[in-house]
Homo-oligomer: A and B are copies of this chain.
């Protein structure tokens, strides 16, 4: 399958759960053409690791992580090491974050519900600069993607802006508009305006649905 003279791909593995890192490492290291050479527990560590080591071929990034999320880390890594391939690993096969991951410079998008063989294949596909469509997500993600391309401008729209996501998290965590305004040094009315835009964009009714959405999306913890 892979040339035996070729050295194994050097992989950076990023997940906030040591147990998950350990398991994924066992899976990847069992392949002769893949080798995990570095681990990180959050996005900041991942960026630091990529800064230290310029021989990395692939970063496997979890999306939901404390401090810096996988998406933010992917943007940072794409700027820092343009040649580095990025494979996003996520708990939820959510369309919004599929497009978000692509926009952040990810080469692949794999939910944790896939089998280990699919993860290995996704890594190899990313290393060949090919998009990997995991089985079962073809229907949901790709069809909605194609629908949006056919009907709209052809560009998948980002669901919420960065600023809106910042406010989304704080609203979902139960902070009032006044508290958020004080925290971000803006008027509470602006917070309400953002909140209204977020609810409208995501098709939600109130803060409560927003909270459950944020938990589903892995933006906050229950």
Contact = CB atoms under 8 A, between A and B. Distances in A.
Interface of A: 16-20, 22-24, 26-27, 89, 91-92, 94, 111-116, 119, 174, 205-209, 211-212, 215-216, 221-222
Contact of A215 (B24, B111, B116, B215): B215
A149 B91 CA distance: 36
A113 B212 CA distance: 23
Contacts of A206: 174
How many copies of this chain are found per oligomer? 2
7 closest residue pairs by CB, A with B: A23-B23, A17-B112, A215-B222, A26-B26, A174-B208, A22-B116, A19-B112
A174 B210 CA distance: 10
Contacts of A26: 23, 26-27
B18 A27 contact: no
A137 to B, nearest CB: 13
Given A17-B113, A18-B116, A20-B23, 18 more contacts: A17-B112, A18-B112, A18-B113, A18-B114, A19-B20, A19-B89, A19-B112, A19-B113, A19-B116, A19-B119, A20-B20, A20-B112, A23-B27, A174-B205, A207-B208, A208-B208, A211-B211, A212-B222
